Amino acid sequence: MITKRIIPCLDVRDGRVVKGTKFTDIKDVDDPVVLADFYAKTGADELVFYDITASNENRDIFLDIVRRTADTVDIPFTIGGGIRSLEDFDRLMKAGADKVSVNSAAVKDPQLIREAALRYGSQCVVLSMDVKKNAFGRWDVYIQGGRDNTGLDAIAWAKQGVALGAGEIVLNCIDTDGVKNGYALDITREICDSVRVPVIASGGAGTMEHFYDVLTKANADAALSASVFHYKEIEIRDLKDYLKEKGVEVRC
């Protein structure tokens, strides 16, 4: 069995880690570098940072946080939010990010994925997808921090993104985000079955069983979560012990 990863997600606004429910009701959590250091020392395999208002506010991303994180932690981390150009990729990679996640800009200009993959390698390019089920039971892709429905079909967009060169997908379901009733197993499984790159499931973890379900029933390569880790409802080492007992291969 391929080793599964556990990844805390740090949503950043105005230099602070915050967390909401379904992209609303945003509450302050902690300093991003302090929290990143804590997770790196307590079993996280990787980290993902999202500047949750950079795209909507049309401003540059937080390079100072990237540099301080790179100087502090020894695990890979991904940066997303407000990425609009190859120059943004270049600044983030030089600041110490291991991977860069694109969402809104990639939808608006899909060739950004291809150009970034050619310059930096597919392993550095992550396609982040915010999705929501529509009235017909299919899943639409949203951009601008979950504010705008593009009308793109999630599975079709995932396939296109990978064909263009994305080396990984982060799939976040808006309906389950922060609700803690479990990941969206159906769309996660569909995306996993549709592409040949790792898929990171995001949005909905509330119990250890939810992690087990998405890593096994939906076959996600990694599970990303925020609230249960930020508020210490689940400790990462305890989660990994649980998963190992259930037969899931995880890193020590």
Asked if residue 26 belongs to a domain, the reply is yes
Residue 55 pLDDT > 60? no
Residue 198 pLDDT > 80? yes
Inter-CA distances, 131 with 44, 101, 106, 135, 232, Å: 25, 15, 15, 13, 27
Q: How do residues 213-236 score in pLDDT, each as one tens digit?
A: 999 999 999 999 999 999 999 999
The reported pLDDT for the residue numbered 177 is: 81
Q: Helices 208-216 and 185-194 sit at what angle, rounded to 10 degrees? A: 30
Q: How far is residue 223's CA from residue 158's CA, in Å, rounded to a whole number?
A: 18
DSSP code string of 166-182: --EEEEEEGGGTTT-S-
∠ at Cα 208 (221, 38), nearest 5°? 80
Asked if residue 40 belongs to a domain, the reply is yes
pLDDT band at 54 (very low <50, low <70, confident <90, very high): low
Among 14-23, 133-142, 183-192, name the one with the lowest average pLDDT. Answer: 14-23
Q: Is 11 a catalytic residue?
A: yes
Q: One of 11, 45, 51, 213 is an active-site residue; which one?
A: 11
Q: How do residues 126-149 score in pLDDT, each as one tens digit?
A: 999 999 999 999 999 999 878 899
The token duo for 130 is: 């915010």
Q: How do residues 75-124 score in pLDDT, each as one tens digit?
A: 999 999 889 999 999 999 999 999 999 999 999 999 999 999 999 999 99
Q: How far is residue 209's CA from residue 214's CA, in Å, rounded to a whole number?
A: 9
Asked if residue 250 belongs to a domain, the reply is no
Q: How do residues 165-187 score in pLDDT, each as one tens digit?
A: 999 999 999 988 878 999 999 99
Asked if residue 252 belongs to a domain, the reply is no
The reported pLDDT for the residue numbered 210 is: 98
* Residue-range definition of the domain harbouring residue 209: 5-245
Share of the chain above pLDDT 90, in %: 79
Asked if residue 129 belongs to a domain, the reply is yes
Based on the structure, what is the number of domains in the chain?
A: 1
Provide mean pLDDT across the span 53-66. Answer: 70
Asked if residue 251 belongs to a domain, the reply is no
Q: One of 51, 88, 130, 140 is an active-site residue; which one?
A: 130
Q: How far is residue 142's CA from residue 145's CA, in Å, rounded to a whole number?
A: 8
Quick check: 75 and 40 in contact, CB under 8 A?
A: yes
Q: How far is residue 227's CA from residue 246's CA, in Å, rounded to a whole number?
A: 23
Asked if residue 162 belongs to a domain, the reply is yes
Q: How far is residue 22's CA from residue 96's CA, in Å, rounded to a whole number?
A: 30
Q: What is the mean pLDDT of the chain?
A: 92
CATH of the domain at 219: 3.20.20.70
